[in-house]
């Protein structure tokens, strides 16, 4: 018998990974959570049937969502992660000894518990004393903060289900308010390739562009996400993502990365023409 995990990327495209076994399956108050074991990608976390991470390629996503803003502001001390209950983003931030505190706000405590147990590669970071987990809706949490965080990383699910509120104007406006005067917000920005995903990413960019003086998009290749071509948003009150990156300082930190490097950081902001067009349309 063959077992396969299959995700629908569009009504006409499916992506499948052969799995050896299902390690966990459960339903929390918010979503269905599954963990699979596979030969090619190692352990796989899915929420409501959508692939969140695999042990083999999570480093790409987590390095790119973390080291791009951290190399622009290597002096950052107080970081907020919204979503990210798998712990991968927290793990990357913990590599900066200068960071004093990470608040991680995920709506679903079960995701964190499942990752601690089944995917310690990311989940173990959640038990670090610098990481403070808050299990509540990020949309509500952010309303109570002003001038507080250096960097906010929005490591959310897609813009439907519990993650929907994290793609709204209200949310981006409140992130702006919660950031210090030179603060940076980075978010996972969906894919530009398939029509529906491209629409979601354009709508998110329109809202972020209207909320921050500096708003740019960068890309990475993530093999297990729809189309493999994934975008991130870089929004900032003051710093330009390339001109203000302090790569000498970053390199002196000696952080060993597998995907991220300063040249790639600069190159990641050079978008293909069809993506530029989608983005420009709403600027
Ligand atoms: N890297 C992933 C991706 O793009 O597929 C995101 C992974 S991370 C597991 C996403 C997390 O966002 C989930 O743990 C989910 O519980 C959390 N989440 C969804 N909606 C949320 C909300 N409104 N507030 C806080 N966390 C939320």
Report the residue among 83, 170, 190 best suited for mutation to probe ligand 1: largest number of ligand atoms under 8 A from its CB.
83
Q: Give nearest CA residue, ligand 1 atom 15.
A: 83
Predicted pLDDT of residue 94: 98
Alpha carbon distance 204, 188 (integer Å): 10
Report the residue among 43, 85, 139 best suited for mutation to probe ligand 1: largest number of ligand atoms under 8 A from its CB.
85
Alpha carbon distance 8, 16 (integer Å): 9
- What CATH architecture is 58-280? 3-Layer(aba) Sandwich (3.40)
Q: Give nearest CA residue, ligand 1 atom 3.
A: 52
Question: Among 84-88, 162-166, 225-229, whose mean pLDDT is lowest?
Answer: 162-166
Are 63 and 53 contacting, i.e. CB atoms less than 8 angstroms apart?
A: no
Calculate the CA dihedral of residues 16, 17, 22, 26 and round it to 10 degrees: -40
Are 174 and 143 contacting, i.e. CB atoms less than 8 angstroms apart?
A: yes
Predicted pLDDT of residue 161: 85
- Higher-confidence residue of 162 and 229: namely 229
**Percent above pLDDT 70 for the chain:** 100
Could you tell me the distance, in angstroms and rounded to a whole number, from the CA of residue 166 to the centre of ligand 1?
Answer: 9
Alpha carbon distance 149, 132 (integer Å): 14
Predicted pLDDT of residue 37: 98
Query: Residue 98's pLDDT band (boundaries 50, 70, 90)?
Result: very high
- 276 is written with which tokens? 């530029």
Q: How many CA atoms lie within 13 A of 245 on its CB side?
A: 19
Q: Give nearest CA residue, ligand 1 atom 21.
A: 163
Are 52 and 87 contacting, i.e. CB atoms less than 8 angstroms apart?
A: no
Mean of pLDDT values over 16-33: 97
The ranges of the chain annotated as CATH 3.40.50.150 are 58-280
Are 228 and 221 contacting, i.e. CB atoms less than 8 angstroms apart?
A: yes
Predicted pLDDT of residue 158: 84
Residues lining ligand 1, Cβ inside 6 A: 52-53, 61, 82-86, 105-108, 111, 137-139, 155-157, 162-163, 165-166, 188
**Percent above pLDDT 90 for the chain:** 97
pLDDT beyond 90 at 112: yes
pLDDT beyond 90 at 159: no
Among the options 103, 113, 155, 197, which is catalytic?
155
Report the residue among 143, 163, 220, 224 best suited for mutation to probe ligand 1: largest number of ligand atoms under 8 A from its CB.
163
Provide the whole-model pTM.
Answer: 0.97
Helices (H), 160-216: 169-178, 195-211
Mean of pLDDT values over 182-204: 95
- What CATH architecture is 3-54? Roll (2.30)
Predicted pLDDT of residue 160: 84
Could you tell me the distance, in angstroms and rounded to a whole number, from the CA of residue 47 to the centre of ligand 1?
Answer: 9
Q: What pLDDT digit, counting tens, does each position of 47-93 carry?
A: 999 999 999 999 999 999 999 999 999 999 999 999 999 999 999 99
Mean of pLDDT values over 208-213: 97
Could you tell me the distance, in angstroms and rounded to a whole number, from the CA of residue 59 to the centre of ligand 1?
Answer: 17
The ranges of the chain annotated as CATH 2.30.140.10 are 3-54
In degrees rounded to 5, what are phi and psi of residue 25?
-150, 125
Q: What pLDDT digit, counting tens, does each position of 230-267 carry?
A: 999 999 999 999 999 989 999 999 999 999 999 999 99
Predicted pLDDT of residue 153: 98
158 in catalytic set: no
């Amino acid at each position: 018998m063959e077992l396969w995990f299959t995700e629908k990327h569009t009504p006409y495209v499916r992506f499948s990974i052969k799995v050896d076994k299902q390690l966990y399956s459960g339903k929390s108050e918010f979503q269905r959570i599954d963990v699979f074991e596979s030969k090619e990608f190692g352990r796989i976390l899915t929420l409501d049937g959508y692939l969140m991470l695999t042990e083999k390629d999570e480093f790409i996503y987590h390095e790119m969502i973390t080291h791009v803003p951290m190399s622009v502001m290597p002096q950052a001390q107080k970081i907020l992660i919204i979503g990210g209950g798998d712990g991968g983003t927290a793990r990357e931030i913990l590599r900066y000894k200068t960071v004093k505190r990470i608040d991680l706000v995920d709506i679903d405590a079960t995701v964190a518990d499942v990752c601690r147990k089944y995917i310690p590669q990311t989940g173990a970071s959640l038990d670090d004393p610098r990481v403070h987990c808050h299990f509540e809706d990020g949309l509500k949490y952010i309303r109570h903060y002003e001038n507080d965080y250096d960097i906010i990383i929005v490591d959310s699910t897609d813009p439907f289900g519990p993650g929907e509120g994290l793609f709204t104007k209200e949310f981006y406006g409140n992130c702006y308010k919660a950031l210090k005067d030179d603060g940076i917000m980075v978010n996972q920005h969906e894919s530009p390739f398939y029509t529906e995903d491209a629409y979601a990413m354009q709508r998110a960019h329109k809202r972020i562009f209207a909320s921050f003086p500096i708003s740019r998009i960068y890309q990475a290749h993530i093999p297990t996400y729809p189309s493999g071509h994934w975008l991130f948003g870089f929004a900032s009150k003051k710093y330009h993502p390339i001109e203000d990156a302090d790569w000498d300082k970053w390199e002196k930190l000696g952080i060993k990365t597998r995907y991220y490097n300063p040249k790639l950081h600069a190159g990641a902001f050079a978008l293909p023409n069809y993506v530029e067009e989608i983005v420009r349309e709403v600027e």
